[in-house]
């Protein structure tokens, strides 16, 4: 027993140490890599870390693969832009609109979820795609969204030399907050119920889980984070158009990141985002042919599905376990015993 406790303590200490090193590295990153080109990569990567973590908090934990996360992301972006314009908010005061972006994401998620979460699997995916296109069309056609021109952000009076650094720390805070939220959800009874829904929703209902309520809360939580991060993204990019705010490739990228890293895990989607987003950005910038990154994304998705269908984190964990135990079972098998035997 003490060996097990010692092993667990060592594991906790190692995890704690790794987290401290990561935190120091993340904070020091813009100090070490001062180039705006590099911090631009990091900002985009952190935006996607936050959004994919939020997406995973619903889709990864519940098994309901949503292709409608861009609805909340884009709406959050538009909400900040439209509100800033309507209320004549300028300068750093626009950051006070970020809670509005989160609220808009949450408010949209309620009716969206109430409709979409009544169905499962492929039908759910199709509904999320349909809602996504409805929002994109609305953004193209409504006058208050600026039609195809979109909406521009108010000017931020920040020096060009510190602009990216400031946004780096803002997006880092968003990413950390999203990860902490996902950890808390996963460790909670609510998170357990979500994972039970992923395995067998009907069985979970039969064990007292109010599945619709659990799914809807997770959906709204995920949308809230996406809306907020959409607002940050808009302020960084300083503009939003229908095709960028409601980009069909956005959700496909999220799915790819989560599958690459490990759907339903905490670290998997983070790793996926840190690999895919900078890679995608590099290809888009390096090769002006925008389709190349999309072709490579598709190829990467195929490779993942064929070679690491469970994702990097679960597969690596499995390999490490095998290596450590060298074929022996990690947990000593226990015979099913009667109570008398168990107590004897």
The radius of gyration of the chain from alpha carbons, rounded to an integer in Å, stands at: 22
Q: 333: exposed, middle or buried (C-beta count within 10 Å: 0-12, 13-18, 19+)?
A: exposed
Candidates 31, 37, 207, 323; binder of other proteins (CB under 8 A) is 207
Shortest Cβ 21–other proteins spacing (Å): 29
Which of 211/284 has CB closer to other proteins?
Answer: 211
Shortest Cβ 61–other proteins spacing (Å): 11
Tokens representing 97 are 């609109």
The Cα-based distances of 52 to 5, 84, 195, 256 in angstroms read 34, 27, 17, 10
Which of 211/244 has CB closer to other proteins?
Answer: 211
Which of 118/210 has CB closer to other proteins?
Answer: 210
Candidates 7, 35, 123, 342; binder of other proteins (CB under 8 A) is 342
Is residue 147 helix, strand or coil?
coil
By CB under 8 A, tell whether 209 contacts other proteins: yes
By CB under 8 A, tell whether 210 contacts other proteins: yes
Q: Look at phi and psi of residue 57 and say left if phi exceeds 0, alpha if psi is from -120 to 50, else beta.
A: alpha
Shortest Cβ 2–other proteins spacing (Å): 16
By CB under 8 A, tell whether 85 contacts other proteins: no
Site for other proteins in 218-277 (CB under 8 A): 264
Shortest Cβ 183–other proteins spacing (Å): 16
Tokens representing 66 are 């949503």
Shortest Cβ 337–other proteins spacing (Å): 5
What's the number of CA atoms in the CB half-sphere (13 Å) around residue 342?
6
DSSP 60: I
Which of 210/286 has CB closer to other proteins?
Answer: 210
**Site track 166-205 with other proteins (rule: CB under 8 A), x = hit:** -----------------------x--xx-xx-xxx-xxxx
Which of 37/332 has CB closer to other proteins?
Answer: 332
Those residues whose C-beta lies under 8 Å from the C-beta of residue 281, and which sit 6 or more positions away, are 40, 41, 44
By CB under 8 A, tell whether 336 contacts other proteins: yes
By CB under 8 A, tell whether 122 contacts other proteins: no
DSSP 336: -
Measuring CA to CA, which residue among 322, 299, 323, 303 is closest to residue 312? 303
By CB under 8 A, tell whether 339 contacts other proteins: yes
Judge contact between 53 and 118, C-beta under 8 A: no
By CB under 8 A, tell whether 337 contacts other proteins: yes
Cα of first residue to Cα of last residue in the chain, in angstroms, is 18
By CB under 8 A, tell whether 117 contacts other proteins: no
Which parts of this chain interact with other proteins (CB under 8 A)?
189, 192-193, 195-196, 198-200, 202-211, 264, 331, 334-339, 341-342
């Amino acid at each position: 027993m003490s060996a097990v406790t010692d092993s667990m303590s060592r594991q906790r200490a190692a995890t704690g140490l790794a987290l401290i090193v990561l935190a120091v590295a993340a904070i020091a990153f813009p100090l070490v890599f001062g180039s705006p080109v590099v911090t631009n990569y990091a900002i985009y990567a952190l935006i996607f870390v936050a959004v994919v973590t939020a997406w995973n908090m619903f889709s990864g934990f519940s098994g309901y693969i949503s292709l409608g996360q861009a609805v909340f992301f884009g709406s959050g972006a538009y909400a900040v832009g439209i509100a800033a314009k309507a209320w004549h908010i300028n300068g750093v005061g626009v950051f006070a609109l970020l809670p509005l972006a989160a609220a808009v994401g949450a408010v949209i998620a309620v009716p969206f979820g109430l409709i979409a979460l009544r169905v499962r699997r492929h039908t759910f995916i199709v509904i999320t795609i349909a809602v996504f296109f409805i929002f994109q069309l609305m953004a193209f056609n409504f006058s208050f969204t600026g039609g195809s021109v979109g909406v521009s952000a108010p000017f931020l009076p920040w020096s060009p030399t510190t602009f990216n650094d400031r946004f780096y720390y803002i997006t880092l805070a968003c990413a950390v907050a999203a990860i902490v939220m996902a950890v808390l959800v996963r460790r909670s009874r609510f998170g357990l119920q979500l994972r039970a829904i992923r395995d067998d929703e009907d069985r979970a209902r039969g064990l007292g889980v109010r599945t619709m309520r659990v799914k809807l809360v997770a959906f709204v939580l995920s949308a809230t984070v996406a809306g907020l991060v959409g607002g940050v993204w808009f302020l960084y990019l300083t503009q939003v158009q229908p095709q960028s705010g409601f980009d069909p490739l956005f959700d496909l990228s999220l799915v790819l990141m989560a599958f690459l890293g490990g759907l339903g895990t905490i670290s998997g989607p983070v790793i996926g985002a840190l690999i895919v987003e900078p890679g995608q950005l590099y290809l888009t910038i390096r090769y002006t042919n925008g389709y190349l990154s999309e072709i490579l994304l598709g190829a990467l998705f195929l490779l993942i599905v064929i070679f690491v269908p469970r994702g990097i984190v679960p597969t690596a964990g499995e390999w490490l376990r095998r290596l450590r135990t060298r074929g022996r079972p990690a947990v000593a098998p226990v015979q099913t015993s009667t109570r008398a035997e168990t107590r004897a």
